[in-house]
Structure 1
Amino acid sequence: MKVAKRARVPSFSVMDIVAEAASRRASGQDIVSLCVGEPVSGASEVVRARAQQLLASGDLGYTDPLGALALRSEIAGHYRRWYDAHVDPAQIAVTTGSSGAFMVAFLAAFDAGDVVAVARPGYPAYRNILNALGCEVLDIACGPDHDFRLTTDLLDAALRGRGRMDGLVVASPANPTGTMLDAAEVAAITSWCENHGVRLISDEIYHGIVYDPARWPGASAVEAVGGGAIVINSFSKYWAMTGWRLGWMILPPDLVTAADALTSNIALCPPSLAQFAAVAAFSDEGYGAAQREVERYARTREIMLEALPSIGWKRVAPPDGAFYLYADISDVADDATQYCRDVLDRTGVALAPGGDFDPVDGGKHVRVSLAAGENRVAEALSRLRER
């Protein structure tokens, strides 16, 4: 029996490192994992308490395919609170993680054969989902020569070179680099997309995890939704609710019906326990707990940046936001994948090789996740110095 061609997408090579680290940990080795973008704190106490109440007495049946109205209304309130933006709850779709949002958004917005641009380096699932759906992925190199930032000049050059662009995926703060676009840059890109008839998908899942108070929580493309943009966010990062599998998207009016139909067929609805518990994330207690974690990431980031010379990593992407550091390790190794294996063997520290994020130039980069916390990052740095 055949296997569909659409399934021939690469798995994450970092998962090989994760699996090896887990095996070693199970055998008793002290492993420090800095390769997974998962906050160790987990959901706040207010969310956990609400979940316990719901398990005891709540109605956990199906919700509307686009999510419970109570949660969609809270998300709309979040946009008023953070961005002073009015969002109609009817245009909000709650999804099974941001991964579910990307799948539904791509299905609703693009047909097989459409050309969708992505920045490189970038989150590999964009490329892999688009390829699985039969779209053509157009890479736009945004490496150190461009300070890891997407610009309208790069978009102009990409459009001239390919002759067609149906969609564009932009992330700010970005994974793996942590690079952020400021408000003027976001406005320029959204205007460019509107002027060229390009559907913009703005990945904002690391909003709030921002280290310059003047730029917090991050510049949103929410005002461009009226022009056809899609804004995607998640409870996984800022609210540390990875396993709760809950994200959302703000949809332009022309995609609401399509997203509703697709979601009702693919998933019926997002997990209802997670939805109703997540309402509590928008309480003062929920925001406060999340912001305290951001303060911890900031301290860990400073520890990492100060230690870079001592471990031989001389060039890094600007870690403006998110909880990653993307480093060029070509001064100490020729191949990032082999370097990560050697580091794991010699020190018990698990790092993510850059090839997942950049199939062209990622072989000389590693990504470090700071979400493991100050103590574990400090321990990892101590071991790396002794390597």
Structure 2
Amino acid sequence: MRRPSRSSTAAPAFAPSARSQVPPFTVMSILGRVAELRAAGHDVVSLCAGEPGGGAPPAVDAAAAAVHASGRALTYTPALGLPQLRAAVAGHYRRWYGLDVRPEQVAITTGSSGAFMLGFLAAFSPGDRVLLPRPGYPAYRNILAALGVEVADVDVDAGTRYQPTVAHLEAALAEGPVAGLVLASPANPTGTMVSADELAELARWCEEHGVRLVSDEIYHGIVHTDGQGPGACAWRTSRTALVVSSFSKYWGMPGWRLGWMLMPDDLAAAVDGLAGSVALCPPAAAQEAAVHAFTEESYAFCAEQAGGFTATRGVVLAALPRLAWADAAPADGAFYLWARLAPGMLAEFGSAVGYCAALLEEAGVALTPGDDFDAVHGPESVRLSFAAGSDAVHEALERIAAWHAARGLA
């Protein structure tokens, strides 16, 4: 029997894939509105993005200028990065953590986002169940969901300093098989950290239960409490963990799009095979320049920048009584403050989205509403980034306090 032919006038039924239906990152939408307001002549202070204001170390900038001034062609690099940069990253782990890391265990990636994509592809299969602390960075969830991985929230709160515990993991395991845990310390959006002992306990639990630990360590070095060093590295305890880091935060290089991953030996071949197809290679010029991020001069520059973040954090914490926000996370590291809006603010604006929109339009200050980071409690919370530096933060805090007073919200 012949099938009926389609009408030549019928439009084909095209639609986006189900896996692509992830929400946009609100920060990017807010940055777009900030750009519009500034283009229209408005003075806006943006504290919504985690972009360090100090820029790259001078030695990195100089190296990049020399690369481009040379006039030579920039060609593809090896898929996992330039050998000299992989060796420099390995040396960094000896310097900061006393760890013996082989250069071939390092994968240079297109930002930490590239590392998460490659790592998740290599470590997890569709249908696997991966644990994410909530509140947490939304891109973890969105990448995993796009790959067909089931995301299971671990609801953390002030009682455990917004970090998961073994008790959380045991409870999650009782509800079904667990393939992975994504842990960030310092965390976005809370800035909270796990201690070396706490990380070791979590890493051991993961190994014992066949759970792949993905340790996000991109804010290491930006630490505001004594005794933490640059932060605890998961490879001190478990070489089955996948460790992700980046040049974007401590080195102040977000737009250079360079990150890296420490690859467990069992994943190295898979990551290598995927890397050549997913991104071909990281940016060549950025890689050549980034080797100079590990000089004595660059370490000193970055330490000074991190000290500035610590000082600015103190200013933000001191201003909390004037802002009348509640339940602020302790912000041990990174450059974020996570806090809950007062009941009167929620009554006035309905949610953190409404509050942040009014603050931007009326006072010219951009903050991030908490919805992206926590679908349950986020609509009542805001994230303030103090990465833009002391002057911007001082100005923003004054504007927020004045706006609260004018609105009767103080």
Q: TM-score scaled by structure 1?
A: 0.98
Equivalent residue for 1:21? Answer: 34
Residue 143 in 1 paired to residue 157 in 2? yes
Equivalent residue for 2:365? Answer: 349
Task: Give the match's secondary structure for 1:379.
Answer: helix
- Shifted more, 126-135 versus 6-15: the winner is 6-15
Per the TM alignment, residue 145 of structure 1 is displaced from its structure 2 partner at its CA by 3.2
Cα distance in 1, alignment partners of residues 323 and 128 from structure 2:
44
Give the conservation status (yes or no) of the 8 Å contact 1:296–1:374.
yes
Cα distance in 1, alignment partners of residues 218 and 236 from structure 2:
17
1:263-302 equivalences in 2 (<5 Å): 263-302=275-314
Residue 119 in 1 paired to residue 138 in 2? no
Equivalent residue for 1:67? Answer: 81
Residue 254 in 1 paired to residue 270 in 2? no
Give the conservation status (yes or no) of the 8 Å contact 1:225–1:251.
no
**Partner deviation per Cα, 1:310-363 (whole Å, 9 max, x = no partner):** 111132011000000001113442211111011112211000000010011101
- Shifted more, 58-67 versus 252-261: the winner is 58-67
Per the TM alignment, residue 61 of structure 1 is displaced from its structure 2 partner at its CA by 1.4
Task: Give the match's secondary structure for 2:398.
Answer: helix
* Match of residue 66, structure 2, among 35, 53, 63: 53
**Partner deviation per Cα, 1:225-278 (whole Å, 9 max, x = no partner):** 52x110000000000100100000001111111000000111111111111100
Equivalent residue for 1:236? Answer: 248
Quote the sequence identity (%): 52
Cα distance in 1, alignment partners of residues 268 and 74 from structure 2:
24
Task: Give the match's secondary structure for 2:387.
Answer: helix
Cα distance in 1, alignment partners of residues 271 and 73 from structure 2:
25
- Shifted more, 119-128 versus 329-338: the winner is 329-338
Equivalent residue for 1:311? Answer: 323
One-letter identity of the residue aligned with 1:349:
V
Per the TM alignment, residue 98 of structure 1 is displaced from its structure 2 partner at its CA by 0.2
Cα distance in 1, alignment partners of residues 310 and 37 from structure 2:
30
* Match of residue 102, structure 1, among 92, 107, 116: 116
| Long gaps (5+) in structure 1 | none
Cα distance in 2, alignment partners of residues 263 and 324 from structure 1:
31
Cα distance in 2, alignment partners of residues 321 and 116 from structure 1:
25
* Match of residue 355, structure 2, among 339, 347, 350: 339
Equivalent residue for 1:184? Answer: 197
- Shifted more, 92-101 versus 339-348: the winner is 339-348
The Cα RMSD (Å) is 1.1
Give the conservation status (yes or no) of the 8 Å contact 1:312–1:331.
no
Give the conservation status (yes or no) of the 8 Å contact 1:347–1:384.
yes
Residue 90 in 1 paired to residue 88 in 2? no
Per the TM alignment, residue 144 of structure 1 is displaced from its structure 2 partner at its CA by 2.2
Cα distance in 1, alignment partners of residues 344 and 195 from structure 2:
33
Give the conservation status (yes or no) of the 8 Å contact 2:203–2:238.
no
**Partner deviation per Cα, 1:148-168 (whole Å, 9 max, x = no partner):** 12110111111112x110011
Per the TM alignment, residue 59 of structure 1 is displaced from its structure 2 partner at its CA by 5.8
Residue 79 in 1 paired to residue 93 in 2? yes
Residue 328 in 1 paired to residue 344 in 2? no
Q: TM-score scaled by structure 2?
A: 0.92
Residue 370 in 1 paired to residue 382 in 2? no
Give the conservation status (yes or no) of the 8 Å contact 1:234–1:246.
yes
Equivalent residue for 1:382? Answer: 398
Equivalent residue for 1:211? Answer: 224
Cα distance in 2, alignment partners of residues 241 and 5 from structure 1:
34
Give the conservation status (yes or no) of the 8 Å contact 2:204–2:238.
no
Task: Give the match's secondary structure for 1:232.
Answer: strand
Cα distance in 2, alignment partners of residues 20 and 268 from structure 1:
33
Residue 166 in 1 paired to residue 193 in 2? no
* Match of residue 170, structure 2, among 124, 140, 156: 156
Residue 44 in 1 paired to residue 44 in 2? no
Give 4+ residue runs of structure 1 displaced > 3 Å after superposition: none
One-letter identity of the residue aligned with 2:218:
I
Cα distance in 1, alignment partners of residues 344 and 289 from structure 2:
46
